[in-house]
Amino acid sequence: MNTIKTKLDGVLIFEPKVFGDERGFFMETFNAARYREAGLKEDFVQDNLSFSRRGVLRGLHFQNPNAQGKLVYVLQGEVYDVAVDIRLGSPTFGQWAAVVLSAENKRQFYVPAGFAHGFCVTSETALFAYKCTESYRPSDEGCVLWNDADLNIPWPIEHPDLSAKDKLGIPLAEFPRDRLPVYSAGGV
């Protein structure tokens, strides 16, 4: 497995080994020992799957307290995936990293706890899978505005299809500070 570090500490791109022939392919989507060796030491407690059509944008979501780390990947289709550091006091607060994830490239993206996460679908449809380090808790959920001008994320779509909840996202600079995670060296 190839591990690619991004400009944000802890945000990683994984390229699993794929074994293929004319019949198809095989790959491990997760192996705790192998991912630990690659630097991902978190335990996962929940797996999720979402299906969306072209133009759907989901995010930028986070959970605090009980912040979730997420290992995300695409089973069918393609998405533009983004992680934003929203940890108060972090040296990279307000910075983001992005990657194209697809069924074709088989890349995985690790979004650590304390980061907001979002993706938009660039293919006809996408089947998106992710592992979480904490269980979902609706009362802990927050949403940073997807097109926050200060973040200046170059989403590959101008007019995304958003949920009612995502339309109510708040710019990071206006987010109540007591709702954001706090940075500490070595974690959230």
Amino acid at 92: T
44-179 fold: Jelly Rolls (2.60.120)
What is the 8-class DSSP label of residue 32? Answer: H
Active site residues per annotation: 61, 130
Q: What is the largest CA-CA distance in the chain?
A: 54
Domain residue spans of the chain: 44-179
Compute the distance between CA of residue 160 and CA of residue 16 in angstroms, rounded to an integer.
30
pLDDT for 47: 97
pLDDT for 185: 80
pTM confidence score: 0.95
Compute the distance between CA of residue 47 and CA of residue 50 in angstroms, rounded to an integer.
10
pLDDT for 182: 96
Mean pLDDT by 10 residues, the chain (188 residues): 95 94 93 93 96 98 97 98 98 98 98 98 98 97 98 97 97 96 82
pLDDT for 188: 66
